[in-house]
Structure 1
Amino acid sequence: MTETPAASLARPLIAGVVTALVGFTSTFAVVLTGLRAVGATPEQAASGLLAITLVVGVGCVLLAGRYRIPITVAWSTPGVALLAATGAVDGGWPAVVGGFLVSAVLILCTALFPPLGALIARIPPSIAQAMLAGVLLPLCVAPFVGVVEDPWGVAPVLIVWLVASRLLPRWAVPLAFVAAIAVVAVELSRTGAQMDAAALVPRLEFTVPTLTVGSVIGIALPLFIVTMASQNVPGVAVMRSLGFTIPWRPAMLVTGLGTAAAAGFGGHAMNLGAISAAIAAGPDSHPDPKRRWVAGVSAGGTYLVLGALSAAFAAIVLLAPAGVIPAVAGVALFGAFGSAVQQAIDDPGERVPAVVTFLVAASGIAVLGVSAAFWALVAGLLVRTVLHVGRARR
């Protein structure tokens, strides 16, 4: 039976909507958690979520529409998890915003100066993934800490996530968030508290950026590295496996400029989609690869709509009992944590440097105002150099 033109168009449109819904609802809580951890007020964190959602939507529409490829961009989930583990830096929130801006400049430099991208590619994947795993560890244990401290609030989230992981894996985290909303509703009815209507109106709040040593070395560099190594490079690989070639320089220009535009309003970083790319660019989107680009445009439009609703999502997070939203953020990162651990220790020859990197990142130490993520890279590369020096000659 021949598919009608309307049905042929509907499939990639729906795939794009699903891509954006899954991407947003799965990790927006991680974004708010990370921004609050580095010093953002609730209003500044909500502004950051709105800004990064809007630039992601525009980026999807521009790249997919221009190149007729189902390119999707997303915010850097590993990057915002890094922020959650970093905590406050010298100079406060303005310095963090300055770090976001420096990271944007570095992303742009990978488009304008290819050797910089090649330099990042030379960082051993085991080291980069071990750093990411160490950063994610505290967030991933939060659901289990929360279920002990507040079983009535956190247990429903974990139960829904587990059942959905078995029956509807793609929607497991969004459904866990729905369970969190139910917990919030019960809490509001029990306490009689009310949601402030003014908090539901999305607002952008500009912060004048400043630069400190801690923000450049502790925020900008690790954010840039983890975004490139854990998002952009896998995003290119996923698209290649589906038969599409990413236009690297335009993609880095769009994501770099988008990051720069969002930085002043609290947006941390945008990058090529990896997991979301498989939804929009896969065969379920449309049997004909030449028609799947519509899914990228549809995802972008959906992100713009979600941006208008982002303030409501942020308000729900503020009303949730302690432990509920960290539980949602934790289960959202289980997959990323498992993948990072696997890649970090997959090569026996790289295992010891990876373990050192992981442990330093997980320790949360800060030296000279610089976060553990940077020192984890330094320690891992140092151990790797010492263990491997002269090995090639022998």
Structure 2
Amino acid sequence: MIAGLKLSHLVSGSIAVLVGYTGSVAIIFQAIDKLGATQLQANSWMLVLGLGTGLSGVALSWRYRMPILTAWSTPGAALLVIGLDGIPMSEAIGAFLVCGALLTLTGLTGWFEKLSHLIPDAIASAMLAGILFRFGLGVFSSMEEDMALVAVMCLTYLAGKRWFSRYAIPSVLATGIFFCWIAGAFHTDVEFAFSIARPVFVMPEFSMAALIGVGLPLYVVTMTSQNMPGIIALKSAGYQPPVSASMTVTGMTTVLLAPFGGFAFNLAAITAAICAGPEADANPLTRYKAALIAGAFYCLVGLLGAAVIGLFLIAPKALVVSVAGLALMNTIGTSLNTALLQSGQREAALVTFMTTVSTISFFGIGAPVWALLFGAATSLALSKKGVNPLISAN
């Protein structure tokens, strides 16, 4: 048992896992289907994705006493759905191994950590606010789907923030579950059966087509759309994450688990923000315990295989979206405040924020990276002294 464990740790950790699975399970299953995987192979994918995420996150969080959550690459899974046409399973596994080797090399060389230190706080906070903005917005757009449920949860949130702020989010979750139970809103047509999944090894093969069409794009997407936001999420919460060590651990995890379906692991951003915020713990020094709980839940879900994912699909979408959005509300507000605090960086921060929210994508590179580039260019263009803001800001 973890000493000093709090209810907020349990709730934040469970919400992080809930958001992690519900936001990407459907995409992962599409990728598995593209490869023509058997049911045993599909179970193996879900097993190693859960165990890889849980164990790597627990190892990093425990070692550095920070809420360092890891995740599988959801944009990477979306890329696989598009890029796996006509590629055999064995060649796809070979591409996953190459991606893992590149991630490990990135961590060992340390170049990515040096790059992350050059990002000004205002621009970094604006990017994080933009990433999380759609989750906050989801609370209000979910009202169209289930006004009564979302209204009850929002009222509970407001009451909690005023009279019992430490338990505001746990109360929101409990209220939402109780309301869905009373209203019969849980999906009862989802079939699942508990069983322990087993790893299924696939011998990798290497082909130039798979390496260029899958391996390299998977690496680029994972680094730009996942690892960079993950670093910024922790920095915005006041932590100095071990960037190179995290890259090395997630890269080696990918290499070890790729033959069983672990296509790419990386730092988490959205789920990390849930465990790194004040709702997880008022004391920043002990928020890592929420990440440990999340890691344990990831391992448990992974062991039970794909069948247990049905549990995450039972809840109505409005419940999941609203809980996640309300849990991130404070982080969004803090990030926006930090981004706009310095008048000299305000325009650059706004450009960064709006670019991130736009979800644009060019050359396979997502909005967060373009947001950093556009924000830095704006800061440089408006700098009175003509000094590179990426250097002078730190």
Q: Give the TM-score normalised by the residue count of structure 1.
A: 0.68
Residue 162 in structure 1 maps to residue 152 in structure 2: no
User: Residues 98 and 154 (structure 1 numbering): CA distance in 2 closer, same or farther, change over 3 Å?
Assistant: farther
Determine which of 370, 374, 379 is the counterpart of 1:375: 370
Q: Distance in 2 between matches of 1:70 and 1:281?
A: 15
Deviations 1:30-64 (A, max 9, x none): 31344258x33389799887645533543466567
Unaligned runs of 5+ in 1: 1-9, 238-245, 286-291
Question: 2:52 maps to what in 1?
Answer: 55
Task: Report the count of equivalent residues.
Answer: 358
Q: Per-residue displacement from partner, 1:333-384 (whole Å, max 9, x unpaired)? A: 2133223212222221111111111111112233345432232222222222
2:11 corresponds to? 22
Q: Give the equivalent residue in structure 2 for 1:177.
A: 173
Aligned position for 2:383:
388
**Counterparts of 1:389 and 1:106 in 2: how far apart (Å)?**
39
Return the offset for 1:196: 1.8
**AA aligned opposite 1:361:** T
Moved more, 309-318 or 372-381: 309-318
For the residues of structure 1 that align with 2:128 and 2:214, how far apart are their CA atoms? 24
Q: Secondary structure at the match of 1:13?
A: coil
For 1:5-51, what per-residue CA distance to the aligned partner results, in whole angstroms no more than 9, with x for missing partners? xxxxx7x4352x757623422222331344258x3338979988764
* 8 Å Cα contact 1:126/1:343 also seen in 2: yes
Shift of residue 177 of structure 1? 3.1
Which letter does structure 2 place at the counterpart of 1:337? I
| TM superposition shift of 1:225 | 1.1
Deviation at 1:256, TM superposition (A): 3.7
Residues of 2 paired with 1:330 and 1:194: CA distance? 26
RMSD: 4.9
Distance 1:373 1:173, change over 3 A: same
User: Does the C-alpha gap of structure 1 residues 378 and 212 become closer, same or farther in structure 2, counting only changes over 3 Å?
Assistant: farther
The TM-score normalised by the length of structure 2 is: 0.68
Alignment of 1:194-343 (within 5 A): 194-198=189-193, 200-201=194-195, 203=197, 211=214, 215=218, 217-231=220-234, 236-237=239-240, 250=245, 252-258=247-253, 264-265=261-262, 268-270=265-267, 275=275, 304-305=299-300, 307-308=302-303, 314-343=309-338
The residue identity in structure 1 corresponding to 2:368 is: A
- Relative to 1, partners in 2 of residues 1:177 and 1:338: Cα closer, same or farther, differing over 3 Å? same
Paired residues of 2:61 and 2:292 also in contact (CA < 8 A): yes
Superposition map of 1:78-97 within 5 A = 88-89=78-79, 92=82
Verify the 8 A CA contact 2:222 2:264 in the aligned structure 1.
no
Please tell me whether residue 41 in structure 1 is matched to residue 44 in structure 2.
no
Query: Deviations 1:66-96 (Å, cap 9, x if unpaired)?
Result: x6x746542369x86xx5xx99558537599
Which has the higher mean CA deviation after the structures are superposed, 269-278 or 352-361? 269-278
Aligned equivalents of 2:288, 2:43: Cα separation in 1: 30
Amino acid at match of 2:329: F
CA distance in 1, matches of 2:153, 2:31: 26
8 Å contact kept, 1:22–1:170: no
Instruction: Flag the 1:23–1:46 CA change in 2: closer, same or farther, 3 A.
Output: farther
Deviation at 1:187, TM superposition (A): 5.2
2:128 aligns with one of 109, 119, 132? 132
Alpha carbons of 1:73 and 1:382: their partners in 2 closer, same or farther (altered >3 Å)?
A: closer
